[in-house]
A and B are shown apart, each in its own frame.
Chain A
Amino acid sequence: MMYYFFLVISIALVITALLSIYFRDLLAAIVSYSVFSLVLTVLYFLLDAPDVAIAEAGIGAALTTCIFVIAIRMTRRREE
């Protein structure tokens, strides 16, 4: 049971990481990266590392997304 759960989480990690590269709309790429961080948080928590999970949720999912959105607001939304 746990094995399949880890398998699903790993596949979701790879898919969200690839999507964040694939999207030409940078806002969608950032949202995908944020989902990547959230899934990684679940993985850290299952691997008995709640410290790292909290840091990943705080910095990876919240603050990095905020800073990237601000950067998009100052530049262009679409990648050429």
Chain B
Amino acid sequence: MRLLSVVAIVILFGFLFVGILHLHPVGEALGNSEVLQGRPELGIDINGVSTMDDYFLRNGQIETKSNNIVASVVFDYRGFDTLGEATVLFIVVSSISMLFFTFLKSKSIVSAGVPPAGQFPKIESRVITFGSFIMYIMILSFGVYLVVHGHISPGGGFQGGSVMASATALLLISFLITRHMQRTRKIFSFFESLGLTIFIGLGFAGITISFLYNFLAHTSTGFGRIIAFGPNQGYLISAGILPLLSLAVGIEVFFGLSLIVVTLFHVSGVKDTNSLR
């Protein structure tokens, strides 16, 4: 058994090193032609560059009207993968809700330190409460910025949504959240489902060409604004359906991860944990 695990580790590290040898050098746009020239099976064209990532770098801005090439790959070229990720997150949140809410419904929740609705907590440190509130607003603003500018600057739906969900965790630390568990669950699960529904609806909107087709990017006004190749200042309304998809994923990730954290927090506040087992 020990020998088998050593062999497995050696094989995995071998794959890792072989993969690292064929990476682009850091900061270099084109493929390492010396490496790729001698290995025609890795997929190179006549100029000695690997076809796929150089294709994205050369044509991404023209085809998807998006300045952020990563966003154009994530939401346009590989949009179906993103739909899969969003669905996986949705299923995780659903199963956590299903596991814990039947339990939480039967108990009267008396979380330690959680105040009744509409009241501020009786906590000693005003520094923690007030500082967390200020930081909550700032982190939430940063998350909204990341989601909205997902097609221009680094960021996007998943990143911005997880940043906003960490703001929710800050609220839990400072006990600024109230004990209205069922209402919180209804609101959060509604918005989470809404995000995924918007994503799938936008996918079906371009169904005449294909699923998740970027139909808005092929006009020349509005969301299909033509942007220059290379570095430019970027426009908020551009890139076709990419900002809308990013917004949908951001809503889904924010409310889903917040629902997980809030649920686990309330479960941990229940005194009698024996009935959980």
Contact = CB atoms under 8 A, between A and B. Distances in A.
Interface of A: 47-48, 50-51, 54-55, 57-59, 62-63, 66-67, 70-71, 73-74
Contact of B165 (A50, A63, A70, A73): A63
28 contacts: A47-B26, A50-B154, A51-B154, A54-B146, A54-B154, A54-B155, A54-B159, A54-B163, A55-B159, A55-B162, A57-B163, A58-B159, A58-B162, A58-B165, A58-B166, A59-B162, A62-B162, A62-B166, A62-B169, A63-B162, A63-B166, A63-B169, A66-B173, A70-B261, A70-B264, A70-B265, A71-B264, A74-B276
Contacts of B154: 50-51, 54
B268 interface: yes
Most buried by A among B70, B169, B267, B276: B169
Given A58-B165, A73-B268, 13 more contacts: A50-B155, A51-B156, A54-B154, A54-B159, A55-B162, A58-B162, A62-B169, A63-B165, A63-B166, A63-B169, A66-B166, A66-B169, A74-B268
Contact of B268 (A55, A58, A70): A70
A10 B52 CA distance: 30
Interface of B: 26-27, 70, 146, 154-156, 158-159, 162-163, 165-166, 169, 172-173, 257, 260-261, 264-265, 267-268, 273, 276
A58 B273 contact: no
A14 B259 CA distance: 33
B220 to A, nearest CB: 29
Contacts of B156: 51
Interface hub of B27, B159, B268 (most chain A Cβ within 10 A) = B159
Contacts of A67: 260-261, 264
A51 B162 CA distance: 12
A65 B162 CA distance: 13
Contacts of B268: 70-71, 73-74
A47 B20 CA distance: 14
